[in-house]
A and B are shown apart, each in its own frame.
Chain A
């Protein structure tokens, strides 16, 4: 690794001020699980590193039945998937967090880091997208909130300015009669990167017969995590049947914009999106009808 200056601010304001005053060429160090390999092997050489480890205000999980879940951006994946409240109210978030790297990775990696690393294959992101999460970022001019989907610009590219820091992710309270599910396809059992992934979040009417809310997010089949709006439209107001799900899966495959690379062809990825959409929607329906 090349040399870098190392700063450990103790507040968000101090971190933002460092990023502003030190200027270009800095990098925020959250869990380090993406940054360290990039600095060691992929030619990433920041002039300075701003560590978040001493900023206690960036860690923590809170839940309110009316306003929903708040995940501080520096909260580690293991803290999220081991949290009883998240397990109870947002199992789809747990599913994604448990898939990131190894257990060792999950003990370092943070939710804000997974979002801001902006990998199209990021496993923790589809759950946030389908749950309509918003992110709060703080910069020299103050704080602002944006829908999580607007964070992503392309592989590794986010809409945050260089002197802005993501501080928190808010997830709305779960809807009644709703459930989410995330699945990815990997050739191995563990420690792999999704060839394609699908996250869903759906709500049924009181009779549990009709889709009244639908969100689908596709993973690793576009430059960013991608809302499958065609597939969502194919569900909304339609009967919760295998036939409707099959139509939505066909639409999701059409919504995908995959490339061919060493991990899979574009055609294969579309087939995976179709199959994973059927599996995730079916599983979510089962959860709703079982009363979770």
Chain B
């Protein structure tokens, strides 16, 4: 069970999220204990890697962190708010505004241009239509994909697709970027490229949580935790500062 990072709680800063004694049990026969008594605190600007083999509960943890699923036990505070007390509608609103998602499968709409895909991010959060295109172009510029704005995703390489997805996640100015195997579908070069962008975002102060089974991807993070059979443990000898300039 871990609390705080190697750098510890920063003065004057509140954690982005806190898990206390969090469990997720699936009511099956026999019951599946996907998460057991997880304690975790993530501080602003931190890059956390969650390592684990498939079936270890890391997807469940991602879903709970992303407010896509509810814990069966314990407390989850996101920016100080006990999210279990919010109704589904407010959880959806919080998810749309404060959390950006990066998926292994990119999840870009195939018939919409890259720009339109990025603009989707503001669809459900009540952002004004005016200026949406400019904000989307700015997000694409951050990931270096400005010149591909009018392309269909099907004409992009895997790395470019993931960068478009990152631009979409950045669009709503989230306080947390949740990445689920962000390089899982990419070749080594594209993966390095995507990780470089994540590193740059981390340096700019964005809080990142990357879920992966790949040690090399995890090595880029400030802090690593390992999840095995639903139990979270700190990985020692973290190479702090590898992703931070």
Are the chains A and B members of one assembly?
Answer: no
